C-alpha cells in the first residue's frame, strides 16, 4: 500500500452550526490560514450557508461541500435538496450517511446508497461515512459492521465512481465525545476498509481511494492519526469551527 498514490483530504463538517454571516466570518479566517496547504481542503456547511461559502472561497484552494442530498432529481420531497440544486450552486462535495443522519433521521444503508449513486451521477464527490457503535465494538463486531456498510453503501458504484468517492471512518463513540480512537484503532479500521475495497474492486483501486478518520480529531491529535499509512485525512466536526484549529490540522496533513 502506498500513501503517495493518494491525496490527503481534510474536510470540516460544520453540522448545524453557523448562520450565513458567521459562515462568512469563519471562512474569511480559514482561507488565508490554509492557502499553502499541500492537501485538499473542504468545508461542508449547512445548505443556507452554501451560497456565501462559495462566494467567500471563490478562486481559493478551499472547496465547498454540502452535508446531505436527496437521490431524486426533483419532486414532492418537502425539505429535501437535490444533487442538481447543489451542482448548479458550485458545490463539489457532499457528506453522506453521517452517523447523526443514521441515528436521528432514520437513514439506512439503502438510502445512503441511493444518495451516493445520485451524487456521483451528478458529478458531486461523496464523502461516505461509516462507523460502529460503542456496543458493536464491545461485542467485537466492528469489522462485520464496517464491511456491511461499505458493501451496501457502495452497491452498484462502479470502479470509476469509487475513485471519486471518499470514505470517512467515524466510530460513533468518538464523535463529539472528546474520545478519539487511538491512532492504532483508526489505522486498523481504515486498513480494513481498504482491504474490503480491494476485494470489491481491486488493490489498485483500493490504494487510490482516500479514507479519512473522523471523531474528535483536533489540532493536538491530528499529527499522530495522520501519520498512519491508511489514514489519508480527516473529517472534522468541532475543531473545524475554529479557524486556527482547522488550519493546524490542515498543516499536519500537508507534511
Binders of ligand 13P among residues 5 to 34 (CB under 6 A) are: 13
Q: Whole-number minimum distance, CB 222 to ligand 13P, in Å? A: 11
Nearest alpha carbon to residue 6 among 219, 197, 215: 197
- Please give the Cα distance from 255 to 244 (Å, whole number): 17
Instruction: Give the residue with the Cβ less far from ligand 13P, 170 or 201.
Output: 170
- Please give the Cα distance from 206 to 209 (Å, whole number): 5
Q: Whole-number minimum distance, CB 204 to ligand 13P, in Å? A: 28
Residue 176 touching ligand 13P (CB under 6 A): yes
**Among 119, 236, 252, 253, which residue interacts with ligand 13P (rule: CB under 6 A)?**
236
Q: Whole-number minimum distance, CB 216 to ligand 13P, in Å? A: 4
Residue 233 touching ligand 13P (CB under 6 A): no
Q: Whole-number minimum distance, CB 100 to ligand 13P, in Å? A: 7
Whether residue 70 lies in the annotated active site = no
Binders of ligand 13P among residues 188 to 217 (CB under 6 A) are: 214-217
Which residue is nearest to ligand 13P, using beta carbons?
237
Instruction: Give the residue with the Cβ less far from ligand 13P, 111 or 237.
Output: 237
Across-strand partners of 62?
41
Binders of ligand 13P among residues 60 to 99 (CB under 6 A) are: 98
Residue 181 touching ligand 13P (CB under 6 A): no
**Among 109, 153, 170, 230, which residue interacts with ligand 13P (rule: CB under 6 A)?**
170
**Among 109, 146, 238, 252, which residue interacts with ligand 13P (rule: CB under 6 A)?**
238
Instruction: Give the residue with the Cβ less far from ligand 13P, 154 or 235.
Output: 235
Three-state DSSP string of the chain: CCHHHCCCEEEEECCCCCCHHHHHHHHHHHHHHCCCCCCEEEEECCHHHHHHHHHHHCCCCEEEEECCCCCCCCCCCCCCCCHHHHHHHCCCEEEECCHHHHHHCCCCHHHHHHHHHHHHHCCCEEEEEECCCHHHHHCCCHHHHHHHHHHHHCCCCCHHHHCCCEEEECCHHHCCCCCCCCHHHHHHHHHHHHHHHHHHCCHHHHHHCCEEEECCCCCCCHHHHHCCCCCCEEEECHHHHCHHHHHHHHHHHCC
Q: Whole-number minimum distance, CB 184 to ligand 13P, in Å? A: 18
- Please give the Cα distance from 229 to 40 (Å, whole number): 17
Q: Whole-number minimum distance, CB 73 to ligand 13P, in Å? A: 27
Residue of 67, 98, 100, 132 marked catalytic: 98
Q: Please list the active-site residues.
A: 98, 170
What residues line the site for ligand 13P (CB under 6 A)? 13, 98, 170, 175-176, 214-217, 235-239
Amino acid at each position: 500500500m502506498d500513501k503517495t498514490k493518494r491525496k490527503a483530504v481534510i474536510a470540516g463538517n460544520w453540522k448545524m452550526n453557523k448562520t450565513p454571516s458567521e459562515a462568512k466570518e469563519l471562512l474569511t479566517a480559514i482561507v488565508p490560514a490554509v492557502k499553502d496547504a499541500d492537501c485538499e481542503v473542504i468545508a461542508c456547511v449547512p445548505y443556507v450557508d452554501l451560497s456565501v461559502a462559495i462566494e467567500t472561497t471563490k478562486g481559493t484552494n478551499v472547496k465547498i461541500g454540502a452535508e446531505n442530498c436527496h437521490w431524486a432529481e426533483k419532486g414532492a420531497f418537502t425539505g429535501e435538496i437535490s444533487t442538481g440544486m447543489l451542482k448548479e450552486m458550485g458545490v463539489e462535495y457532499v457528506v453522506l450517511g453521517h452517523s447523526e443522519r443514521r441515528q436521528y433521521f432514520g437513514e439506512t444503508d439503502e438510502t445512503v446508497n441511493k444518495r451516493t449513486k445520485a451524487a456521483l451521477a451528478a458529478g458531486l464527490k461523496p464523502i461516505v461515512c461509516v462507523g460502529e457503535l460503542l456496543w458493536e465494538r464491545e461485542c467485537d463486531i466492528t469489522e462485520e459492521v464496517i464491511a456491511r456498510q461499505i458493501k451496501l453503501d457502495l452497491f452498484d458504484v462502479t470502479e470509476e465512481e469509487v475513485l471519486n468517492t471518499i470514505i470517512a471512518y467515524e466510530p460513533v463513540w468518538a464523535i463529539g465525545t472528546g474520545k478519539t480512537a487511538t491512532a492504532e484503532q483508526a489505522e486498523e479500521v481504515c486498513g480494513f476498509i481498504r482491504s474490503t475495497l480491494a476485494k470489491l474492486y481491486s488493490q489498485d483501486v483500493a490504494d487510490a481511494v482516500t479514507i479519512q478518520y473522523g471523531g474528535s480529531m483536533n489540532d493536538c491529535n491530528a499529527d499522530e492519526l495522520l501519520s498512519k499509512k491508511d489514514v489519508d485525512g480527516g473529517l472534522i466536526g468541532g475543531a473545524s469551527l475554529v479557524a486556527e484549529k482547522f488550519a493546524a490540522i490542515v498543516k499536519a496533513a500537508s507534511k
